[in-house]
Structure 1
Amino acid sequence: MKFSKYYLAAFISFVIWGFFSLALKPLAAYASLDILFYRVFLCAVIMAVISFFVRVKVLKENTRLLRALPAKQRFRAVWLTLLGGILLTANWFFFIYVMNHISIKAASFAYLVCPIMTTVIAYFVLSEKLSKWQWVAVGISIFSCLLLSFNSIADIAYSLIVAGSYALYLVSQRKNVGLDKFLVLTVQILFSALILLPFYPVYSEGIPTEISFYALILVIAVLFTIVPLYLNLYALQGVTSSTMGILLYINPLMNFAIALLYYHENINSIQIIGYSLILVSIVVFNERFIFGRRRTALV
């Protein structure tokens, strides 16, 4: 498998997300909805300014392209874009809630389940083919998740919701092709902001006054939202949803390491074995990429 800029974009996006807890955990004293409100609203403002005032030429070109599409394709592009906004909103809220009110490990477990769900959904919905070794990797992943679930059965429901929402997002956006990815992401986040806006006056716990809150929200909005999401959408132009799903394992592996080394959460031997198996599954799934050059040389 030839190394590509799309593969690199996917890899970098998940490495960035692996550090998310460092910015999110200091906000644990704030309500999950407040974090979500300010994260989405700030992202919407930043991306709207960039898309509507800086990238005007791209906006005009994509508007013409959308209008030129047949009605069926135009409806599909609009529907998939708005669906992405809904799925992102759901994923963000549940992830923040689980991270701050359940545990970092529970949030990590959600992204252990997500790659499996993404791979299976992509197989049935997008007809993405998997090699024998990739199916072996999926099997290893399933076994490791079952192993890890024995110690966190109460968290599985939360994990499945978080995992399912992002798995569906990845698969749906794999089918959403043709338009500029940054513009698509802008529309999705603006739509997310519109969804959340009516709830803000009712469910917000007041306007935060601490400067540190807004500083962390800015970091979350730019570094942990706009940048990795754009890299995700960009990567989906050149790699399959299944590959994106397996690379997503980078996120929980890093969360696990941070929970152990930085937050000093209790880790047992079963969890160590489970996460080690996940690392093995990443290597096995990407064996053509990792060992491709060696095979070519031998031939």
Structure 2
Amino acid sequence: MKLSKYYFAALVSFVMWGFFSLALKPLHIYPSLDILFYRVFFCAAIMAFVSFFLRRGVLKDSIQLFKSLPAGKKQQTALLILGGGVLLTANWFFFIYVMNHISIKAASFAYLVCPIMTTVIAFFVLDEKMGKWQWIAVSISIMSCLLLSYDSIADIGYSLIVAVSYALYLVSQRKNHGFDRFLVLTLQIIFSALLLLPFFPAYSGPVPAEASFYGYILVIAVVFTIIPLYLNLYALQGVTSSVMGILLYINPLMNFGLALVYFHEHINNVQLTAYSLILFSIIVFNERVLFRRRREAIVQ
């Protein structure tokens, strides 16, 4: 497959997310809610500036499109945008909490099962079809979950909460089409900031005085949120969802590797077996794309 600019954009975005723990882990001394507050506020301010001042044409066209919709469609669009903001905020909080207070392995596992969980939810909610090999892959991933729950019920519980919150976000946004994706994301993050703002005075800790805190938050907002999300949106213009699904696994695999090599987190035989099953289920789940490409390469 030719390495197109769209494929390269997708690849870079997931590689960037794979290094997220390097910026997040140094903030483990701060409460998870504080990290969430400042991340969302920084992202909302930056994205609002980009959308409302640098992309005025897109904003104007989107407003006109929204006005032209029937009343029922307007309500559905608004609910999808606002509901997506709630799910995205919940996912960020759960991920930060698991990464800093449970383990990086648990956080990486969440995004290993997330693509498969998304497909299962979409099967029941959106009536999307699943093939025989995909159901086999889901069964294998369930086996790995049972193994991990035997080793640590708390870890698998937290992992599934992270995975479900993001899976529900993805499924809900599949129905939200027709509008500029960056603008939709901007509105969702602004809504998240507005939701969190009333809780900030009561639930935030003392205002951090360390410049390093704001430096890491700025890096998280720009390098690990806005840029990779924008690259994802750009890549979707020329890359199929199957390719994006395969590349999605770069993120948790890199997190898992960093947990072992850089952060020296302990892993036992049960965990190793469970993660191996997840890797195997990924191959089985994507066998149509992986092995079809191989057959096409042989034919050529």
Q: Aligned AA for 1:184?
A: V
Q: Distance in 2 between matches of 1:7 and 1:123?
A: 27
Q: Distance in 2 between matches of 1:137 and 1:247?
A: 17
Q: Distance in 2 between matches of 1:103 and 1:17?
A: 17
Q: Distance in 2 between matches of 1:128 and 1:243?
A: 18
Does the 8 A contact of 1:41 with 1:193 survive in 2? yes
Query: Does 1:250 find its partner at 2:250?
Result: yes
Q: Distance in 1 between matches of 2:3 and 2:175?
A: 23
Deviates more, 1:138-147 or 1:187-196: 138-147
SS across alignment from 2:100? helix
Q: Deviations over 1:16-73 (max 9, x none)?
A: 2222111100001111111111100000010000000000001001111111112222
Match of 1:195 in 2: 195
Q: Distance in 1 between matches of 2:80 and 2:23?
A: 30
Consecutive unaligned residues in structure 2, runs of 5 or more? none
Match of 2:162 in 1: 162
Q: Distance in 2 between matches of 1:11 and 1:126?
A: 28
Q: Aligned AA for 1:180?
A: D
Match of 2:132 in 1: 132
Match of 1:100 in 2: 100
Report how far residue 262 of structure 1 moved.
Answer: 0.3
Closer/same/farther in 2, CA of residues 228 and 24 from structure 1, 3 Å limit: same
Query: Does 1:38 find its partner at 2:38?
Result: yes
Does the 8 A contact of 1:181 with 1:234 survive in 2? no
SS across alignment from 2:188? helix
Closer/same/farther in 2, CA of residues 117 and 294 from structure 1, 3 Å limit: closer
Closer/same/farther in 2, CA of residues 276 and 4 from structure 1, 3 Å limit: farther
Match of 1:76 in 2: 76
Q: Count how many residue pairs are aligned between Structure 1 and Structure 2.
A: 298
Match of 2:22 in 1: 22
Closer/same/farther in 2, CA of residues 9 and 284 from structure 1, 3 Å limit: farther
Match of 2:88 in 1: 88
Query: Does 1:173 find its partner at 2:153?
Result: no
Report how far residue 147 of structure 1 moved.
Answer: 2.0
Does the 8 A contact of 2:148 with 2:156 survive in 1? no
Match of 2:261 in 1: 261
Match of 1:206 in 2: 206
Report how far residue 234 of structure 1 moved.
Answer: 5.7
Q: Aligned AA for 2:63?
A: T
SS across alignment from 2:263? coil
Query: Does 1:141 find its partner at 2:166?
Result: no
Q: Distance in 1 between matches of 2:131 and 2:3?
A: 18
SS across alignment from 1:100? helix
Q: Distance in 2 between matches of 1:87 and 1:245?
A: 20
Q: Aligned AA for 2:37?
A: F
Q: Distance in 2 between matches of 1:198 and 1:274?
A: 41
Q: Distance in 2 between matches of 1:5 and 1:125?
A: 33
Consecutive unaligned residues in structure 1, runs of 5 or more? none
Q: What TM-score do you get using the length of structure 1 for normalisation? A: 0.89
SS across alignment from 2:205? coil
Q: Deviations over 1:108-147 (max 9, x none)?
A: 2333443332121011112222222222222222222222
Q: Distance in 2 between matches of 1:10 and 1:114?
A: 18
Does the 8 A contact of 2:87 with 2:168 survive in 1? yes
Closer/same/farther in 2, CA of residues 109 and 293 from structure 1, 3 Å limit: closer
Report how far residue 96 of structure 1 moved.
Answer: 1.0
Q: Distance in 1 between matches of 2:231 and 2:149?
A: 30
Match of 1:150 in 2: 150
Q: Distance in 2 between matches of 1:292 and 1:298?
A: 11
Deviates more, 1:221-230 or 1:180-189: 221-230
RMSD: 2.6
Q: Aligned AA for 2:142?
A: I
Does the 8 A contact of 1:20 with 1:224 survive in 2? yes
Indicate the percent of aligned positions where both proteins have the same amino acid.
Answer: 72
Closer/same/farther in 2, CA of residues 169 and 13 from structure 1, 3 Å limit: farther
Match of 2:223 in 1: 223
SS across alignment from 1:267? coil
